[in-house]
Structure 1
Amino acid sequence: MELDHSDSASDDKSYILDIYQIVQRDAKVARLLQSQENWSQQAPSGNRDCAVCSDNVLIIGLPSLANCIHRPETCAGCYADWITTQLRDNSWREVKCPGSECRIQLTYDEIRQYANPGIFQQYDAFLARAAFNDDPNFRWCRACDSGQIHMSGVEGNIFTCAACGHKLCVIHEKTWHEGETCEEYEYRSSGRKGRDQRLQEEASLEAIRKLSKKCPGRECQFSIEKNDGCDHMTCKSQAFCPLLKLE
């Protein structure tokens, strides 16, 4: 009986290859662990003066950005104040690093991490409003802080807030003009209705002056009109004959 030495040699090679791969993997892990240990040993320690307020603070507590290449130099309190100033001066749209020559912009997560909680809430609300305002069908309620999608083609010109029930005219962006169509509201609010009413009143007064005359009674200020019948007339104050004046 003869032994098949080729199979044995193949098994030996496979075994050696497995051992080699394990050694290489362990070496890679060892190098990674050594690198992390070296980084920990080289990490900044001790204190540093804040570039803004000059307070001496722990270096490890100084805020730093992921994309900045310079060393952190601003304490947490001054960093929060800087974010507040940047947001208000730039209309809540961007915040750059406080480094004098750095132009790196803070990310949303970095602003959340380093800003005062109240300021971040305002910033977050601004971003949400900005996103909603990009939708032409989104409208804010004038009576509360709620808002919703309003499709004018389906729901007409009346926006009804789902949160508080307030009604808004989407054409004029004002509280809904109850009892008036948009055309009637425009007619009234433009001043044309008042002007037309004044013209009608003036025309009526002119017609009264032409068709009537003052009562001849000394103390009476009423206007009278005779359009039919006999000549005897009775005013509120007295009776008289239009031809003979007073009786």
Structure 2
Amino acid sequence: MNFECSYEREGQCSICSEVNIRLVNLSKKCAHLSNCCVACLTQSFATDIESKGSYTFRCPMPTCTVKFEPEEYYCLLDARLMGIVDNLLLHRLLETNEEFRWCKSTKGCGAGQLVCNYKDLLGYYTCHACGQMLCFRHSIEWHKGFTCDEFEAERARNDDLASDVTVLAFTKKCPNEACGTPIMKHEGCDVMTCCRFGSHTCAESKDACDHGGRNYCGQRFCWSCLGKIDLDKKTNGFIRHCKSSCKYYSLN
């Protein structure tokens, strides 16, 4: 594989411990000696893209805070992974447009659209994929019976309504038909688990997690479209079942 890097040398890879191997720095911003081999960097990026839908990567050196630009790590990706990252970066760009909204249907949809005439609307629009009526201002399902101004006034007066809105905005039900437990998400990637912590990285938490147990079923799912995510027992990778309207559909 031929590509330009800011610095390379031969030595021992800090990840796989292989000796006398080509070590590289992908970014010119990295001030330290190169310590990772191409194979380990490639595998790390591929795993994060396919399992988490990641498109931002930091230098693997613990003391380095450099974030790689796409043009710096694209050389390590095959055509399929580049297509996935291109799609994710496009969605990130769309999210900066004030006219763009993701469908927030509690039933799970994952579609996005530009609502170009939002200033002329009565406050709501319809998802092109699932038909759900959605509030443009609040990015939730349409609050029937209230205009947006009335809804905000009522929410200010009614603590229960304010709490319900928070739950609606940050909580979705587990897609496992036999479970349906509400799971809340505040941060992290869109791979969720029906467990105490919600995130698929809950095993790294210092607190004990039953990862299922009496109140949770342990089902992994996509937060965007509620598509189930199974674990490939052979490769330990994810098998996604995202809906065709979901921004992560290309990871299926």
| TM tier, smaller | 0.3 to 0.5
- What TM-score do the two structures reach when normalised by structure 1? 0.40
Larger RCO, structures 1/2 (Cα 8 Å, 6+ apart): 2
Greater Rg over alpha carbons, structure: 1
More helix by percentage: 1
